[in-house]
Amino acid sequence: MIRRDILWKGIIEELAEDFLYFFFPGHIHLIDIGRGFEFLDKDLEKIMPEADTRQRHADKLFKAWLKDGQEQWFLVHVEVQGYPDGQFAYRMFQYYYRILDRYNKPVTAVAIYTDTRRAYHADTYRVDFFNTELTYRFQSFVLLDHTPQKLRSSNNPFGFALEVARRALDERKSDDDRLMVSKLDMLRHLLTRGLDKASIRRLYNFITYYTAFQNLENKLKFEDEVQKITKSRKPMGLEEAILQEVKEQGIEQGIERGIEQEKRLVVIRTYEKGLPLTDIAQIAELSVEQVEQIIQTYEAEK
C-alpha cells in the first residue's frame, strides 16, 4: 500500500499550478505560471535534517517566479497522521527562519490538516518575553471544516484531491460497500471534468490508493467497474506506472552502464517512491538482502 505522505508529496508536485490557484486566488495574477516550478526537496532536507521521518507528514518546498522576475518560495506542510504535536507551530517557524537565514528567501507557508485532532490545528507561533514579542502566522487549511461538496464545487483539480481526502475522514469506519460507492462516484465526476489525460491519471491514482478496501476481492471489483465506466483497457495503477517509468529510464542508462547499474537505478527510484522492499526486490529481480545493501550504500552517499 502506498503511504499517504508519499501520495500527498506526489499530488502537490504534479498539481502545483492548481495548488496555487486553490490557496492563493488573490495572488495568482502575480505569479508567472508559464515559467513553471522548481522543487527544492533537497534544500528542505538540508534545512531540517533532524526531522523525524517516522512521523507521517509530507513537506514540499518549491519555487515559483513572479511576473516582475522575483523568486517566491512556497512551503507546503501536510499533516497526514494527525499525531499530537504541541511543537508543530514552532516547527513551522523553524522552517521559515532557517530558509530566510540560509537562502535569504521569504516563504509563504501552508499547513493542511487531514485529521480530526482540532486541538493541534495551529496557525500561529507566538512568543513573548520581557517586552519582546514575536508572532509568526501561516495559512492553515483544516480539511474537517470543508464538506466534500464544497471542495468539489471549487472546480479545481487540487480541490478534488482534497475532496478525496475529506471523504476518507468519513469513511474511516465505513465498510467496503460504502467505499465502493464513494470511489466510483468520484471517478465518474472526474471523467466529466474535461481534464487532460495526465491529470485524470494522477487523480485516479489518488482516489485508488488514498483509502484502501479491506477485502482484496473488492479492490478487484472496483478495477472491473472502472474498466466498464471508462470503456477501455484496465487503467495503469500507481505502482505499475512507477515500474514502467523506472524500467524505461533504467534500460536507457543500462545500455551504457551495464545491467547491474540498471538494477541499482531501479532500486533507488522505487525506494524513493516509497515501495516496500519486497516489491522493490521483485521489480529489480534481486533478493531483499541485495536491495537493502544498495539502499544502504545510496543513503551513505547522499
Task: Report pLDDT digits (tens) over 39-73.
Answer: 887 877 777 765 554 455 677 888 888 888 777 77
Task: Output the nine-digit C-alpha cell for 12.
Answer: 502537490
Give me the pLDDT at residue 241, please.
Answer: 47
Estimate to the nearest angstrom the gap between the alpha carbon of 86 and the chain centroid.
23
Task: Output the nine-digit C-alpha cell for 46.
Answer: 538540508
Give me the pLDDT at residue 242, please.
Answer: 45
Task: Output the nine-digit C-alpha cell for 65.
Answer: 517566479
Report the run of H or E that residue 75 belongs to, with start and end. strand 71-79
**Average pLDDT score over residue span 278-290:** 77
Q: Is the pTM of this model over 0.85?
A: no
Contacts of 197 (CB under 8 A, 6+ apart): none
User: How many Cα atoms within 13 Å fall on the side-chain side of residue 213?
Assistant: 19
At 176-198, the pLDDT tens digits run 778 888 888 888 888 887 877 77
CA 55 to each of CA 18, 81, 178: distance values in angstroms, whole numbers, following the listed order: 27, 8, 29
